[in-house]
Structure 1
């Protein structure tokens, strides 16, 4: 099953260059059989730019996810922590690049 995610241009560049290997989301997909993500790069690009396969979906608090995924650049810490309130459970998509 495919899913479509809208991602900001700076993050799509980092995903497809391999600098960003985790995509953090507030909610898990409605369907549990999603294995491939189509990436829509938001404006000013405004188009589909590639896809990646999901290796694993991790679900936990932001601090616990950070401990599991801290190999990603530290500049993402602020974004991860600030993106979620204390009552929300973020979702992490650990994906391998298929093509850009």
Structure 2
């Protein structure tokens, strides 16, 4: 994957990250997202108790709409049962499905590694932008040659 200035770091719970890495989940559901576009790379930070970046994926498509429309378009690929999907999106008028492709797993990057790339690094609540240098550093660590 080419490094560009549009890389982002996304926080994902361990069970969902595992499902993304094993291919059983190809759509990440969100209630809201910052402005991102199709084609960006998402570095996957696996939340505690793991607490490290384990891989990367490309956003092939962003499905946006009311929860029912997003479920119709993406449901089986979300890794969620319909009840869990509804619970997560309860009270939300909009839903977003980030369709993931080109998923790669690498050598884990711990918090210590992340803090060498960004002083005072703290995992994002949702998604945070990475500089080209930060993305290059993650790429070197996760995919050494």
Q: Do the structures match in fold with TM over 0.5?
A: yes
User: Secondary structure of the equivalent of 2:81?
Assistant: helix
Alignment coverage as a number of residue pairs: 100
- Choose which of 70, 73, 93 in structure 2 pairs with 1:68: 73
- Choose which of 86, 93, 98 in structure 2 pairs with 1:93: 98
Alignment gaps of 5+ in structure 1? none
Structure 1 equivalent of residue 28 of structure 2: 23
| Aligned pairs (5 A) from 1:3-22 | 3-22=8-27
Structure 1 equivalent of residue 40 of structure 2: 35
Question: How far apart are the structure 2 equivalents of 1:76 and 1:27?
Answer: 20
The structure that is strand-richer by fraction is 1
The structure that is helix-richer by fraction is 2
Q: Note if 1:50 corresponds to 2:81.
A: no
Question: How far apart are the structure 2 equivalents of 1:99 and 1:35?
Answer: 14
Instruction: Give me the CA root mean square deviation.
Output: 2.0
Larger radius of gyration between Structure 1 and Structure 2: 2
Post-superposition CA distance 1:27-56 (Å, at most 9, x none):
132344761111100111100011100001
The normalised TM-score by structure 2 is: 0.61
